[in-house]
Amino acid sequence: MVNGQSNTPLNIMPLPAKAERGEGLLRIDASFRIAFEGYREPRLERASIRIERQVQRQTGLVILHASKSAGLATLQVATDHESKAIQELGEDESYTLDVAPAGAKLHAPNPLGALRGLQTFLQLIAITPDGFGVTAVHIEDRPRFPWRGLMIDSGRHFIPLDVIKRNLDGMEAVKMNVFHWHLSDNQGFRGESRKFPKLHEQGSDGLFYTQEEIRDVIDYARDRGIRVVPEFDMPGHSTAWFAGYPELASGSGPYAIERQWGIFDPAMDPTDEKTYKFLGEFIGEMARLFPDQFFHIGGDEVNGKEWDANPKIQAFKKSHKIKDNAGLQAYFSGRVQDLVAKHKKTPVGWDEVLVPGVPKSIVIQSWRGVDSLAAAAKDGYRGILSNGYYLDLGWSAARHYTMDPLGGPAAALAPAQKQLILGGESCIWSEYVNAENIDSRIWPRNAAIAERLWSPEGTTDVASMYSRLDAESARLEWLGLEHRSFQRTMLQRIAGTWTPSEFDALRALAQALEHEKDYAREASAGTPPTSLTPLNRLVDAVYPESDLARRFSLLVDQFVAANCKDAAQATEIRAQLAEWATIDDRLQGLAQRSHLVREAVPASAALSQAAKIAVDALDSIQKGAPVSADQKKNHVDFLNALEQQAHKSQLTIPELPAFQKLVEAASASGVCAR
């Protein structure tokens, strides 16, 4: 077996560079013990306790740490030498892992590789007919890209410390190594500043991280081989700064924390020296707090309206021969990059910062497209890809999985230019994300992105990815991630009932549906949501990607591919459709009593009606009575109308393509007509 492509695949995610199955099984029991040789450090000792606890959670075995000194270690970890005191971009993360029935050996050049290999070992522990064990295997592994990140937006909704930490645990599990912390935006300034305390005092509604907490997160991340890159977005996305320091702004104020979502006018005044004095001191304070080499200065989405409205700024542009606002932003960026450089840090910015003349040191984070990434590399800039990795857009894992930092125009770059593309970062923007549902908006899909960034380029088998994603999703729950468990309690709140007959209908509805994709929620009619809008609706409680819909669609694919002959498949499809067809009726009682159920009724009615059309199609197929082209068109049109109806609840029906497939298969020209 190479690359895990065997009949009984190893549940490793991301897939290692090389894996060869051996013979036999290493038993995991109460005597489980990790021992270290070679280079040692406290971080490795702590990792050993952490892994041991994780083995306990995964297996339920009782492993007494205190009594583990005797006997042979289950897993021997050999590390050659230390890694950098402050984790650096591009450090060696390779390891080899050999598991045999008598014991496992993990070898890594440095602690980073050891941490990666420990996670692989954890993933390999499985239940067997004779207890828990790890199948014999030889693994040689190293990452494809050196920058594999997750960005969490703590600005729009505050994300509590424990939630951040369990997501760092999740990142470690899938071998991500950069936590990009978006700490300020129009709706909130979340990091304590001791130099400028009004930033967090006036800009956060009291919801911010103290410097002690930030240091705690940095230590926690370092223990897991994860760098922490802070972002303070400027000169736009900065209204929350101005609540405490209106003198930084280009307008006359007054300013208050922004409650709406969108792009807003307030922007820092790039023409006033006191702006740079302030930023110089602020960046200095944060550069000391965050040890990482990289410092993110944002730079996205400045609309320029405050600049245009300010005569002093207009005069400055004229006197400095700056011809447009892009030029003005370039001027600002250049000044801020100097401040960052002064504190010995390397700046990172969103791709708007890439304008002619910007220093080559800056790393470009591309959110607008792969083209800009390739263009930047051609110009000699380093870059990381986030376009295609926005988790808040609700795409499927499969869709994220197809995005490759070296895909598209980047595939044509020269080898040296390709080296400039450092990797990628998934991003969770938090307009519709809070502490309660954030895990579900990140996981498990983020694991597919992590695999894209770690595993060899040829790792593209979607079925294999989903099979391993299912396993990893379950395993991530042992880290305390609530990406699955959050739903039941949210649905109980929405239902306000504890009677299974009623509750089950709501749960069945939730599991069939997904929230609308991309930016549909902003665009929907009615009162625009704000940061004070409760995220307690069905749209907030559904999974971004419905496992049920995915499995059902696969089943329909198989059924139709075999010309609809398989009776067992037909029975299974019919049973599922029958349940969906009754959901709307079963939900009516709840809808009378709960305003949150009532607003989901357009979607439940749409799902039930769509399922009935699919049942009719299945009837036609099984009775051998194909429908006419006109009827088929009516049905397809109706399905599309039902999807629109579901949007009234800001939901989408991911089963519709499968329903349509049945309708088409049932038509006179369809593959299952007979």
Binding stretches for a second copy (CB under 8 A): 30, 58-62, 64-67, 126-131, 205-206, 436, 470-471, 473-474, 477-478, 484-485, 488-490, 492-496, 498-500, 531-536, 540, 547-548, 551, 592-596, 598
The minimum distance between CB 485 and a second copy, in angstroms, equals 5
For a second copy, the closer of residues 464 and 492 by Cβ is 492
The answer to whether 450 and 148 are in contact (CB under 8 A) is yes
Look up residue 117 and give its two tokens: 């290999």
State the Cα–Cα distance between residues 674 and 668, nearest whole angstrom.
Answer: 8
| Strand partners of residue 19 | 139
Could you say which of 301, 477, 572, 579 is catalytic? 301
For a second copy, the closer of residues 408 and 496 by Cβ is 496
The minimum distance between CB 127 and a second copy, in angstroms, equals 4
Q: How far is CA 144 from CA 16, 64, 92, 107, in A?
A: 10, 38, 11, 19
Contacts of 575 (CB under 8 A, 6+ apart): none
DSSP 276-328: HHHHHHHHHHHHHH--SSEEEEE------HHHHH-HHHHHHHHHTT--SHHHH
The minimum distance between CB 312 and a second copy, in angstroms, equals 34
The minimum distance between CB 593 and a second copy, in angstroms, equals 6
For a second copy, the closer of residues 387 and 473 by Cβ is 473
For a second copy, the closer of residues 417 and 511 by Cβ is 511
The minimum distance between CB 576 and a second copy, in angstroms, equals 11
For a second copy, the closer of residues 209 and 307 by Cβ is 209
Phi, psi of 541 (to 5 degrees): -105, -15
3-state secondary structure 556-602: HHHHHHCCCCCHHHHHHHHHHHHHHHHHHHHHHHHHHHCHHHHCCHH
Terminal Cα distance for the chain, rounded: 43
The minimum distance between CB 439 and a second copy, in angstroms, equals 14
Look up residue 516 and give its two tokens: 């609308």
State the Cα–Cα distance between residues 382 and 371, nearest whole angstrom.
Answer: 14
For a second copy, the closer of residues 277 and 593 by Cβ is 593
Q: Please list the alpha-helical segments (H only) found in 403-499.
A: 415-418, 438-442, 445-454, 462-476, 486-495
The answer to whether 14 and 454 are in contact (CB under 8 A) is yes
Could you confirm whether 301 is annotated as catalytic?
yes
Look up residue 194 and give its two tokens: 């001791």
The minimum distance between CB 587 and a second copy, in angstroms, equals 14
For a second copy, the closer of residues 51 and 108 by Cβ is 51
Torsion sign, CA atoms 529, 531, 532, 538? positive
| CA atoms lying within 13 Å on the CB side of residue 498 | 1
The answer to whether 449 and 457 are in contact (CB under 8 A) is no
Known catalytic residues are 301
